[in-house]
């Protein structure tokens, strides 16, 4: 999806932002950041313009999207900032930390459509009146791949290699990740 966004919107660079301690996943078991960093590095290494950002890895939590975008804009004030999210996240946006400030900071919010997930911009307009003018829905095939589905397949001994880049697949297999 990142490649689709990069191509359709002619983006010079796509930052991959990993969060060391996601605030919305406090109760879940999270893969150590060193492994997630390596998996992203392996996944994006052959894609020009894809860059792993350490902005949330190297700073103290909590990590909220509004703060991250503000920091990035401070580092590159003349850049245009597009934020890529799934349609499910767009529906949850009013519950995010300081959602109005987040929308204000983003120049464009790219939304990836999800099968079976409807998000009503009209309802969101009430909570976030400036949102609609910033939303761009990516014209792309709906690809139903999630990290939790991949981990479930690995644990169950099912095929999963076609859901990943070859390098990420080999790293997971060589390190016996997600077996339990």
pLDDT more than 70, % of the chain? 92
pLDDT tens profile 165-174: 899 999 999 9
pLDDT band, residue 117 (cuts 50/70/90): low
Regarding beta strands 108-112 and 135-137, do their DSSP bridges make them parallel or antiparallel, or are they unpaired? parallel
> Is pLDDT of 180 > 90?
no
Spatial CA neighbour of 62 closest among 12, 24, 109, 89 = 24
Q: What is the mean pLDDT of residues 111-128?
A: 76
Q: What is the pTM of this model?
A: 0.85
Q: What is the pLDDT of residue 118?
A: 63
Three-state SS letters, 36-95 = HHHHHHHHHCCCCCEEEECCCCCCCCCCCHHHHHHHHHHHCCCCCCEEEEEHHHHHHHHH
> Is pLDDT of 115 > 80?
no
Q: How remote is the C-alpha of 142 from its chain's centroid?
A: 16
Map out the domains of the chain with their CATH numbers.
Answer: 2-141 (3.40.50.620)
pLDDT tens profile 26-55: 666 788 999 999 999 999 999 999 999 999
Three-state secondary-structure class, residue 108: strand
Length of the chain: 180
């Amino acid at each position: 999806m990142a490649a689709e966004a990069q191509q359709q919107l002619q983006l010079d660079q796509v930052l991959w932002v990993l969060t060391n301690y996601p605030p919305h996943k406090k109760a879940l078991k999270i893969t150590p950041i060193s492994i997630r960093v390596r998996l992203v590095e392996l996944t994006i290494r052959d894609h020009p313009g894809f860059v792993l950002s350490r902005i949330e890895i190297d700073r103290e939590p909590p990590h909220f999207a509004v703060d991250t975008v503000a920091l990035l804009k401070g580092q590159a004030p003349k850049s245009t900032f597009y934020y890529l999210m799934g349609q499910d996240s767009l529906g949850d946006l009013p519950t995010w930390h300081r959602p109005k400030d987040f929308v204000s900071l983003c120049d464009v919010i790219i939304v990836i459509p999800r099968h079976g997930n409807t998000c009503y911009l009209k309802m969101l307009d009430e909570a976030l009146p400036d949102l609609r003018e910033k939303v761009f829905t990516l014209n792309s095939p709906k690809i139903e791949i999630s990290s939790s589905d991949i981990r479930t397949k690995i644990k169950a001994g099912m095929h999963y290699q076609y859901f990943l880049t070859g390098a990420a697949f080999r790293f997971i297999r060589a390190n016996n990740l997600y077996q339990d």
